Amino acid sequence: MTRPGEFYQRDRSIQPPAFTPGYKTSVARSPRYSMISLQNSVSEITGPRFGHNDIDAGDNDLLTNYAKAGESPIGERIILHGRVLDENARPVPNTLVEIWQANAGGRYRHKKDTYLAPIDPNFGGCGRTLTDENGYFFFRTVKPGAYPWRNMVNNWRPAHIHVSVFGLGFVQRLITQCYFEGDPLIPICPIVQTIPDAEAIEQLIAKLDLNATVPLDSIAYKFDIVLRGRRSTLFENRLEGN
């Protein structure tokens, strides 16, 4: 008898804990009891799937998906591309990747954002795409600006793009943020600092990828995303995956 393979347990030593007082909002929003560890059942190994009927081809182009005809958003034109992989280094194909970000001035198109930098009439700030059969994805956008936020009196977020990924099972669901190589705000950001592992922080910093630029058009950054890995199909009489 076969059973579907389970996901590897999450390595909590590289993930931010719930309670991180340097990021003040987490204090009242963090559970205090231990989570109950749950071995995967059918509810965990399965998850929603998406197809090309769900989204449109231009949804991954933030330079055009909200701009008026013939106009473009202001800012540094970038390509953000990479692969979604699992911990076994296998590509995760046909999975939904959604992003959102501030405009080049550090302002979000959101009714709750009141920062004094202006809204860009040609920039919505969100995009989505499905990875291809090799787990590859790309977006065109502008590089977001840094912005101040209320935590300590004078905290600034490094330039970042929020990234949401599904994977193949609901327990692979992940939201993270993509930072940009060379930004001096990264090491002093209280939200970055919720991550307890230096290498795990490095893994969230997209690297300049000169080979992927479009000369005289757009600069490129490479950002790979790793989701939890999965055992091969388990057999009742074998304890290990193969």
Per the DSSP assignment, residues forming a β-bridge with 80 are 139, 221
Contact between residue 95 and residue 225 where contact means Cβ atoms under 8 Å apart = no
Token representation of residue 149: 């936020």
Residues 201-240 within binding reach of other proteins (CB under 8 A):
201, 203-204, 225-229
Give the nearer residue to other proteins in terms of CB position, either 34 or 211: 34
Q: Which residues contact 44 (CB under 8 A, 6 or more apart)?
A: 6, 7, 38, 169, 170, 171
- Closest contact distance (angstroms) between CB of 110 and other proteins is 4
Residues 99-138 within binding reach of other proteins (CB under 8 A):
99-101, 108-113, 124-126, 128
Active site includes 8?
no
Gap between the Cα atoms of 185 and 166, Å rounded: 28
Give the nearer residue to other proteins in terms of CB position, either 214 or 238: 238
State yes or no: residue 44 binds other proteins (CB under 8 A).
Answer: yes
- Closest contact distance (angstroms) between CB of 153 and other proteins is 18
Contact between residue 231 and residue 5 where contact means Cβ atoms under 8 Å apart = yes
- Cα torsion 48, 52, 53, 59: sign: positive
Distances (CA, A) of 65 to 104, 126, 208, 214: 16, 9, 24, 19
Active site includes 162?
yes
Give the nearer residue to other proteins in terms of CB position, either 1 or 210: 1
Active site includes 157?
yes
Per the DSSP assignment, residues forming a β-bridge with 91 are 85
State yes or no: residue 50 binds other proteins (CB under 8 A).
Answer: yes
Active site includes 33?
no
- Closest contact distance (angstroms) between CB of 140 and other proteins is 15
Active site includes 160?
yes
Contact between residue 177 and residue 206 where contact means Cβ atoms under 8 Å apart = no
Nearest to 125 by CA among 208, 61, 207, 50: 61
Catalytic residue among 77, 107, 160, 228: 160
State yes or no: residue 37 binds other proteins (CB under 8 A).
Answer: yes
- Closest contact distance (angstroms) between CB of 113 and other proteins is 6
- Closest contact distance (angstroms) between CB of 25 and other proteins is 3
State yes or no: residue 89 binds other proteins (CB under 8 A).
Answer: yes
State yes or no: residue 18 binds other proteins (CB under 8 A).
Answer: yes
Q: Which residue stretch of 70-78, 133-141, 187-195, 212-220 sits at the interface with other proteins (rule: CB under 8 A)?
A: 187-195
Helices marked H in 126-188 — which ranges?
none
State yes or no: residue 173 binds other proteins (CB under 8 A).
Answer: yes
Residues classed as catalytic: 108, 147, 157, 160, 162
